[in-house]
A and B are shown apart, each in its own frame.
Chain A
Amino acid sequence: MRKCLGIIVLDFILVVAATAFEKDIRPILENTCLKCHGGEKVKGKVDFSGILNLEQAEEQLDLWEKVVDVLETGDMPPEDERQLTTGETRTILDWCHKELAKPIEAQPGIFQPRRLSAPEYRNTLRSLFGFDLKVSIATAEQTLSGEQSLVLKLLPIDPPGVSGFVNDTHGTKLSPILMDQYLHLSDAALEKLFSIKGRKQLSFLMGVQKSEAWKPYDITLEEANTLISNFISRALRRPIKAKMATQVSKSLERKIGEELLKAIKFEMKAILMSPAFLYRGLLMEGKPGIQQSVDSFELAERLSYFLWEDRPDDELTELASSGEISKPGIIAEQVSRMLLSPNSRSLAESFAVQWLGLANIDDMFKNDPGDRGHGMRTQPRDFLHYLFTEERPVMELIDSRVTFVNQSTSGFYGKDRQRLARFPKPQGVERQRTMNQRLELREAEGRGGILTMPSILIMNRGPILRGTWMLRRILGVELGEPPADVPPIKPSPRGQKLSFRERFAVHRENASCSRCHNKIDPLGFALDGYDNNGRYLLGEAQKKNLKTPIDTSGQLPGGETFEDFEELKAVFMTSQRENIVRNIVEQTLTYALCRELKRFDQSTVNTITKNLCRDNGTWKSLFTQIANSLPFRETFIQNAKHEESKLED
């Protein structure tokens, strides 16, 4: 289904706004903003002068998004200009939010080629060459070996993009340093491929079994051509074009021995350094100026980089060649298959680690290569991998009866740990890391789900960090930066002994503090039953040792009250369910699309959220729905700026 973007009518449901634009918003703009934005001057390309009525206002929704942003962060108005009253700010924000929330039809993003992120590059090289490029470092028990992948050691760390995920590489430039490292890594990979260690993969790419005794300079021209065309189509993730094939075979012609080998390596290196390899999407076929389905190789690539962080394997490539992959049923089958592959571990290791900020756990335990550090680092990842790949409902993130523990972390799980198999210890090994075991929770008090996992509680110490983490990462609430004039938390007044909790109650009396702390504090204090080492203090046995009772009760801004964390968790599972599922969908879709979500993605998010809430849907269902969603399958290629002159050369 192809349609021309030009004729898409933005199908607003016109709700009569309680606040009329002309009557309530326009006057505030005139009084405060217009001076710099459309009156005396037009600063920052923001011009309000032409927006006189609701219709004109609704044509510029991007502008109102910007307005929300600067008001919420307090960036505007500038300090030395007339300030908005709290009431005025509220009026504008409420109106903007209402306008922006109006549903619009789903629409794909603009097609943007994207450089492979460092882990994607590592995995792509690995599956292309059949081996990993590793740093030579002997590994030993209780020894930190550091980064073992040569690729990750050499490539600069990709900063997260606007979307918050590192696979959104749109914002980071291709630096000459990066070019140097690509050159180096290509050399290293090719050298290994033509050495004895690469013989298996080389034979595979040549289509002829070669023994270890065989010397690469004995390669025949025919073998060389097969090798190169296999290599190119695999590296570029689509069949090699006839023109390119001719060009390559011409460059090999009439060469033998070392000279031929040199030419082969040169051609292969040229591919590894080409933008078509280093970027995703440059070879997609399509017409500029219209909305269209992505071609089937692009779809295969999107799916495999989403679930595997890697290039498509042979099965996906075949389905792309035949075009079968476009069928929604085939996509569902492939998602099932792909989740069973070990490569799907990347969902936990990349997607979840970035979404939930789990790298902080690694930092906290970076000097503990032993069992405890190992257990803390791996527990949330193993748990998430289980949810992602074993058809678990998305809400089991919050409430689950399964967890993963090793010898050290099993201590948090009371009597349940007795059901674990013994952790065998080979003789002559002084201390060692134990592998996680799956543990069914029956009697453990205060556990289950990610929120009360020891490493998460240790990573977020104290009620404020814990509350903020839950709001941002789990409920998907955007908190602005703390205001610049934030007053310190006051010490107890002389003669009184206020608890931390009571002092924060004082803090919340300040209006600019309460804006966020009304949301943060109740969530955070609900976890006060867990200490900074992740231990549960309110179990039947532990409760007796408490000197003073711990207050874990609270009230959410919406009015709901709870006595303890278990009750808060019940709130999460019921009235907050939709918010949490929506956040999960938004995060996963953002990762899958490798870009920030736009307003036109909201209807996709809404549909998937509704489906998952209705069916108690699984992660697998979420992945499948995303892979079958419009923004994933379709795109819009922008017209080139000087298209005609380009076509003439």
Chain B
Amino acid sequence: MKSRNWRIDRRTFLRGAAGALVPLPFINLMEGSADNGIRNLAGDTQPPVRFMTLFKPNGVHPPSWNINGGMENDFRMSPLMKPFAKHKEDLIILDNMGDFGFSSHSNSTRRFLSGHHNNRKSASVDQIIADKISAGTTHRSLELTTEGLFTNQIDCSYISYDKKGGRIPRESDPQLVFDRLFRNPLRDPNQRRHISSLLDRVSNDAKALQRIAGAEDQATLDEYFTAVRETEKRLEKMAPVSGSKGVDFSSLVRPESGVNLNEQVEAMLDVIAMALWTDSTRCISYMLGNSNSRMIFDFLGIKKQHHYLSHFFRNFSRSNIDSLLKISLWHMEKFDYLLSKLKSYKDHHGRLLDHCVVLYGSGMGHSDNHTAQRIPIVLAGKGGGQLKTGRYLRYSQNQELSRLHLSLLRMFGVESDSFANSSSPLPGLGGGSFDEYRERPFTSWVKSEQGKMTVQGRLRMSDNLDEAKVFYMDIKDKPPVRIEIGFGDFHGFNVAYHVGTPITLSGNSSERNGQLVITRITEIKSVFGNSKPGKAGG
């Protein structure tokens, strides 16, 4: 039974994913005609820049997330980034962001938009930006989420905080958000006409009842008619208003209620894109899940909780790693879904994404030991020309997130000298210079004879996370060497620990279709670091 259920879920999931590719019928309607911008001195209009944040819970599995050995304009996206690799030219991937030390789930959640976990008495960055840019939009901002409240540590459920640092309630139902934005009868003349005629009809039907009714029925019906009349009166009073962009809201498709998490999230991302495109709001924060999330991704065929799996080191097994990576890939796919959506809408003379700043990421780095360094942070969109995208910025020194937040504030015109712990913005986002991380140089080579091989180079995971147990070593000017070993070697030599770093590896090898493969490891030496870090799970 169970496996059958799973298959049904999986199928609906695929259908949901395929739906994303169908272009919406009204996408090109607004090109050139919309004049929702702000006139500059020369009389040209500038479209407003929107701010959107997408939060990924429970950190990442660093070996599959980190980019290693890349430079600003010359880098290879990591296996986990594969789902959104096609947007490379619209991204700035930030590295070496975070704090020193370790961090609880609730502290890391606070850090994501507040810059530092002790910044608890003031507004998060999205809220300050909303105050600045929301004038003229119907909705100041939207604070959205996927799951309920994690009550053990309540702050795990919030990224947006108000002026006093108080938690801002979130909404999770895409249909309710859609209706709030686009189906308010106050704003839609078609809706108002429909309701009027419905009320007429209903009153006529009810009048027929009145003829046979007794005294108590009359009282009931009087009460009913009063409510109908009051509703009619309210309808009359409403002046017709359309969205500030002049879009006919009745042409927007209301999302269906999802049957699983994937459909729920995609429906919400659809609504988010519509909200930004129609300029109903310019600031949205959305959590793909609570930090510490106990969500079970059954539609991916996974039966264990996300939080449990995210501790991939202490709960170590190959199938747990596979499950965790599947979940992480799903988060990355949703980021891709959002970016594709934002690109599909024309806005002013470009794509909607060009007039957005999208901040994607988490509040912690390593999901097992909760290190606060190398937190995954990606910016997307050109921010109206303020972001120079298509680059990888790995800073030489750890940068607190509050520096990034300060940069964002300045970008949106907030005159602020400092945010949380930082009083200088993060350099390099607009293309300016920054102090880039330099790796110590090392040489790479391969020597092999009679089924034995020694190879020096950088170890990395396979790009294809469906085969997460396969590794490669990159060698300059030569094809990479494939490492395909059993669990014993993987565990015994703690291969995962060395991922991303230069090592010298010796082992038994063979050649398959011209590809060098190492099938057993006899020794690993770290070129610069500790060769024996201890065993996984030890």
Contacts and interface: CB of A to CB of B under 8 A. Distances in A.
Contacts of B294: 140-143, 429-430
Given A136-B258, A275-B221, A276-B209, A430 B308 contact: yes
B227 A273 contact: no
B74 interface: no
A179 interface: yes
Nearest to A112: B216
B5 to A, nearest CB: 16
A270 B198 contact: yes
B220 A275 contact: yes
B227 A179 contact: yes
B257 interface: yes
Contacts of A606: none
Contact of B148 (A137, A275, A638): A137
Interface stretch (A61-69, A470-478, A553-561, A639-647): A639-647
Interface stretch (B171-179, B379-387, B439-447): B171-179
Nearest to A285: B212
Given A141-B305, A638-B214, A639-B215, A197 B259 contact: yes
Contacts of A188: 175
Interface in A111-154: 111-115, 134-146, 150
Nearest to B264: A136
A111 B214 contact: yes
Interface in A424-440: 426-430
Interface in A174-230: 174-176, 178-180, 183-184, 187-188, 191-192, 195-197
Interface in B169-189: 172-176, 179, 183, 185
Nearest to B257: A136
Given A111-B214, A179-B228, A179-B231, A273 B152 contact: no
Name which of A137, A175, A180 has the most chain B CB atoms within 10 A of its CB. Answer: A137
B264 to A, nearest CB: 5
Contacts of A191: 254
Nearest to B229: A176
Contacts of B305: 140-141, 428-430
B149 interface: yes
A179 B224 CA distance: 9
Nearest to B218: A640
Interface stretch (B42-50, B200-208, B344-352, B521-529): B200-208
A380 to B, nearest CB: 22
B8 interface: no
Nearest to A273: B202
Contacts of A135: 172-173, 176
Contacts of B132: none
Interface in A320-375: 367-370
Nearest to B307: A430
A641 B214 CA distance: 8
Given A138-B261, A274-B206, A282 B223 contact: no
Determine the interface band of chain A, counting residues with CB < 8 A from chain B: 35 or more
Interface in A415-449: 426-430
A414 to B, nearest CB: 29
A286 B264 CA distance: 49
B224 A638 contact: no
Nearest to A287: B214
A538 interface: no
A269 interface: yes
Contacts of A572: none
A138 B289 contact: yes
Contact of B198 (A143, A174, A197, A273): A273
B386 to A, nearest CB: 35
A600 interface: no
Contacts of B309: 428
Interface residues of B, number: 64
B466 interface: no
Given A139-B148, A646-B210, A180 B256 contact: no
Contacts of A138: 146-148, 172, 261, 264, 289, 295
A141 B309 CA distance: 14
Contact of A428 (B209, B264, B315): B315
Interface in B305-362: 305, 307-309, 315, 320
Contacts of B185: 183
A281 B213 CA distance: 10
B217 interface: yes
A4 to B, nearest CB: 16
A491 to B, nearest CB: 38
A81 interface: no
B147 A641 contact: no
A184 B179 contact: yes
A646 B293 contact: no
A188 B175 CA distance: 9
Given A179-B231, A282-B220, A288 B214 contact: yes
Contacts of A428: 303-305, 308-309, 315, 320
A470 B103 CA distance: 50
A150 B320 CA distance: 36
A229 to B, nearest CB: 15
Name which of A173, A370, A428, A638 has the most chain B CB atoms within 10 A of its CB. Answer: A428
A36 interface: no
A251 B261 CA distance: 41
A110 interface: yes
Contact of B227 (A110, A175, A184): A175
Contacts of B496: none
Contacts of B226: 174
Nearest to B233: A176
B147 A139 contact: yes
Interface string A274-318: 111011011100101000000000000000000000000000000
B530 interface: no
Nearest to B200: A270
Contacts of B197: 266
A133 B309 CA distance: 32
B112 to A, nearest CB: 19
A150 B171 CA distance: 13
A184 B178 CA distance: 12
B219 to A, nearest CB: 8
Contact of B295 (A140, A244, A367): A140
A640 B216 CA distance: 8
A127 to B, nearest CB: 19
A283 B172 CA distance: 40
Given A113-B220, A136-B174, A428-B309, A649 B211 contact: yes
Contacts of A179: 227-228, 230-231
A146 B303 contact: no
Contacts of A637: 214, 216
Contacts of B206: 274-276
B145 to A, nearest CB: 8
Shortest beta-carbon contacts, A-B, top 8: A428-B304, A145-B148, A638-B215, A141-B294, A138-B147, A637-B214, A140-B294, A136-B173
Interface of B: 146-152, 172-176, 179, 183, 185, 195, 197-199, 201-202, 205-206, 209-211, 213-218, 220-221, 223-224, 226-228, 230-231, 234, 254, 256-259, 261, 264, 267, 289-290, 293-296, 303-305, 307-309, 315, 320
Given A146-B148, A175-B227, 15 more contacts: A113-B220, A134-B257, A135-B173, A140-B296, A143-B150, A176-B231, A179-B228, A179-B231, A184-B179, A192-B256, A370-B152, A428-B315, A430-B294, A637-B214, A640-B215
25 contacts: A135-B173, A136-B173, A137-B146, A137-B147, A138-B148, A139-B148, A140-B290, A150-B173, A174-B223, A179-B227, A191-B254, A192-B256, A275-B202, A276-B205, A276-B209, A282-B220, A283-B209, A288-B214, A369-B151, A430-B308, A638-B214, A638-B216, A639-B215, A640-B217, A640-B218
Interface of A: 110-115, 134-146, 150, 173-176, 178-180, 183-184, 187-188, 191-192, 195-197, 244, 266, 269-270, 273-276, 278-279, 281-283, 286, 288, 367-370, 426-430, 637-641, 646-647, 649
